């Protein structure tokens, strides 16, 4: 709920059931959502935290004619709490530190704050001076007289500007706790976000042992966060592809869902594969290719290879009545067809596995067999050959067909589905609900 909206600053208030008050200060470049959201809005609401979110319509580091107004309104609410925690990102980090005494803060967590934007006080990139610095912000450098509580300043040591300003703050203010967050870049909260992580951060900030526990807590959250893992993989892929392969695969094995989202970054997985090949790790590349493919097809990490998952030499392709190959569209989970001589689409040819008693339908991906099963969500893949929903070829009865001579040597096959018969048209359309068992529903096989 917005409890104050001025020309430049906005206050949001969330009522929860925590015994402490959290005040967050949003970073720059968020002016377009200043009246609709604030830093930490989602985890604050999920965790039912009593909180005030401070946002800005202009990026001038919360130095405004309205500053005293918002501080007074915050204090009117904060006087009911013994513990007050301030959190800010970048521009908001500076504000969290500079207002900590006025807001009677217990603890402050400032992510990548600037010490000052005043070029007469410190080195500052010109774009900040041009875009964000204005009259009234002179000598805005953080001072000892402004602060209260345990002050934690998080920064990525590899970010030159952030490193410089973190240490400027440490030089200006006694007992500052610097918290290095490696491989996060400037947007540190992208690497520690999530409702559970946010709650863990707050618990340690309000703890009497926070000074000793917070660096380890932040490090653990960061190292296990998918965003940070992706960043580390991007940096190390070219030089350490085998280590990156192992880390990527460990993420796919994780019991929780969050790390598995790493596979959404297809460019990253491709780079790891290419790096393995460039470095000459061909067996590792082949294993990685199969492992990731299996995960994408089945949604689970592969178990040790079994008979059903190994490609056999005597599989055959399925040929339609019209002479096209029956194929599987893996992206859309349905059947289509493909030119028998030169593939004219990205679908995967469907195979008959004569090694099975049921002549089941399957596809081959990187030396692995996956079986095609009929489900309410479409035609999905499985590595379990015994699944009763797997489609299979059955002997075709040509009694009702017109072209009896075609079937005189071998009757061929049909494919029964839940709704009827599989029917393949010359335009590559394939339906699963044909009521007939005629020529267009008949199939034969051709060696792969």
d(CA 246, CA 64): 51
The contacts of residue 161 (CB under 8 Å, 6+ apart) are 114, 125
Does 394 lie in the same domain as 265?
A: no
Provide DSSP, 166-230: HHHHHHHSTT-EEEE-TT--S-GGGGT-SHHHHHHHHHHHSSTTHHHHHHHHHHHHHHHSHHHHH
- 319 shares a domain with 239: no
pLDDT recorded at residue 308:
44
What does the alpha-carbon distance between residue 166 and residue 157 come to, in Å, rounded to a whole number?
9
What secondary structure letter does DSSP report for 105? -
> What pLDDT, in 10s, does the model give residues 121-180?
999 999 999 999 999 999 999 999 999 999 999 999 999 999 999 999 999 999 999 999
Q: Say if residues 55 and 18 touch (Cβ distance below 8 Å).
A: no
**Whether 188 and 282 share a structural domain:** no
Q: What is the pLDDT of residue 306?
A: 46
* Residue 247 shares a structural domain with residue 366: no
Q: Does residue 312 sit in the same domain as residue 443?
A: yes
For 300-349, the pLDDT digits (tens) are 888 655 434 555 556 789 999 888 999 999 989 999 999 988 889 999 99
Residues 126 and 186 occupy one common structural domain? yes
**Which residue range(s) make up the domain with 325?**
308-447
Q: What own/partner pairs with CB < 8 Å and gap ≥ 24 does 368-372 have?
A: 368/290, 368/293, 368/294, 368/309, 368/310, 368/311, 369/308, 369/309, 369/310, 369/311, 369/312, 369/315, 370/297, 370/298, 371/308, 372/328
- Residue 295: name the closest of 218, 349, 368, 389 by CA: 368
Residues 184 and 238 occupy one common structural domain: no
DSSP 135: T
> pTM here?
0.75
pLDDT for residue 103: 98
Where is the domain boundary, 205, 222, 239? 222
56 strand-pairing partners:
9
Considering the domain architecture, whether residues 176 and 322 belong to the same structural domain is answered as: no
| 421 and 370 assigned to the same domain | yes
pLDDT by 10s per residue, the chain, length 448: 999 999 999 999 999 999 999 999 999 999 999 999 999 999 999 999 999 999 999 999 999 999 999 999 999 999 999 999 999 999 999 999 999 999 999 999 999 999 999 999 999 999 999 999 999 999 999 999 999 999 999 999 999 999 999 999 999 999 999 999 999 999 999 999 999 999 999 999 999 998 999 999 999 999 989 999 999 999 999 999 999 999 999 998 887 767 778 888 888 998 898 888 888 888 898 889 888 888 888 888 886 554 345 555 567 899 998 889 999 999 899 999 999 888 899 999 999 986 777 889 999 988 888 999 999 888 999 988 878 899 999 999 888 888 777 777 777 899 999 999 999 999 999 999 999 999 999 998 888 7
Q: Are residues 379 and 442 in the same domain?
A: yes
* pLDDT of amino acid 304: 59
Instruction: Examine the domain organization and report whether 267 and 320 are in the same domain.
Output: no
- Indicate the helix (H) or strand (E) that contains 371: strand 368-375
C-alpha span between 228 and 192 (Å, rounded)? 8
The CATH number covering residue 121 comes to: 3.40.50.1820
φ/ψ (deg, to 5) at 23: -120, 125
Q: How many domains does the chain have?
A: 3
Strands 21-25 and 84-89: parallel
* Shared-domain flag, residues 318 and 425: yes
**Residue where a domain stops, chosen among 194, 222, 250:** 222
- The upper half-sphere exposure of residue 159, i.e. CA atoms within 13 Å in the direction of its Cβ, equals 22
Q: Looking at 222, 239, 268, which one is the last position of a domain?
A: 222
- Provide the CATH number for the domain around residue 365: 2.80.10.50
Pair 11, 2: CB distance under 8 Å: yes
Query: For residue 74, with 0-12 CB atoms within 10 Å meaning exposed, 13-18 middle and 19 or more buried, which class applies?
Result: buried
Question: C-alpha angle with apex 401: 397 to 407, nearest 5 degrees?
Answer: 60
Rg from Cα positions in the chain: 31
């Amino acid at each position: 709920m917005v409890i104050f909206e001025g020309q430049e600053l906005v206050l949001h208030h969330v009522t929860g059931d925590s015994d402490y008050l959290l005040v967050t200060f949003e970073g720059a470049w968020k002016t377009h959502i200043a009246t609709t959201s604030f830093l930490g809005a989602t985890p604050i609401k999920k965790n039912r935290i009593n909180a005030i979110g401070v946002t800005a319509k202009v990026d001038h580091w919360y130095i405004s004619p309205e500053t005293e107004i918002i501080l007074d309104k915050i204090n009117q609410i904060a006087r009911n709490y013994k513990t007050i925690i301030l959190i800010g990102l970048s521009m908001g980090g500076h504000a969290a530190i500079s207002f900590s005494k006025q807001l009677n803060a217990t603890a402050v967590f400032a992510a990548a704050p600037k010490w000052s934007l005043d070029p007469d006080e410190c080195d500052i990139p010109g774009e900040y001076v041009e875009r964000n610095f204005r009259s009234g912000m002179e000598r805005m450098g953080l001072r000892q007289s402004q602060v209260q509580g345990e002050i934690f300043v998080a920064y990525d040591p590899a970010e030159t500007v952030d490193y410089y300003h973190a240490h400027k703050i440490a030089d200006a203010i006694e007992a500052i706790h610097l918290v290095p967050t490696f491989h996060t870049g400037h947007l540190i909260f992208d690497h520690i976000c999530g409702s559970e992580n946010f709650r863990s951060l707050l618990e340690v900030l309000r703890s009497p042992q926070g000074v000793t526990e917070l660096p380890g807590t932040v490090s653990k959250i960061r190292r296990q966060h998918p965003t940070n893992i992706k960043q580390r993989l991007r940096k190390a892929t070219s030089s350490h592809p085998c280590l990156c392969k192992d880390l990527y695969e460990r993420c796919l094995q994780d019991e929780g869902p969050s790390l598995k989202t790493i596979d959404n970054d297809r460019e990253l997985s491709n780079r790891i594969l290419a790096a393995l090949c460039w470095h000459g790790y061909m067996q590792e590349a082949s294993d990685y290719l199969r492992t990731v493919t299996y995960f994408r097809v089945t949604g689970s990490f592969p178990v040790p290879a079994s008979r059903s998952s190994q490609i056999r030499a005597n599989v055959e392709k399925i040929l339609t009545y019209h002479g096209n190959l029956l194929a599987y569209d893996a992206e859309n989970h349905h059947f289509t067809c493909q030119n028998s001589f030169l593939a004219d689409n990205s679908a995967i040819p469907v195979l008959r596995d004569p090694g099975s008693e049921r002549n089941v339908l399957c596809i081959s991906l990187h030396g692995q067999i996956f079986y095609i099963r009929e489900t309410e969500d479409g035609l999905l893949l499985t590595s379990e050959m015994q699944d009763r929903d797997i489609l299979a070829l059955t002997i075709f009865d040509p009694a009702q067909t017109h072209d009896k001579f075609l079937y005189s040597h071998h009757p061929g096959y049909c494919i029964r589905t839940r709704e009827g018969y599989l029917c393949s048209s010359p335009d590559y359309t394939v339906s699963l609900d044909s009521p007939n068992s005629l020529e267009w529903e008949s199939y034969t096989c051709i060696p792969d």
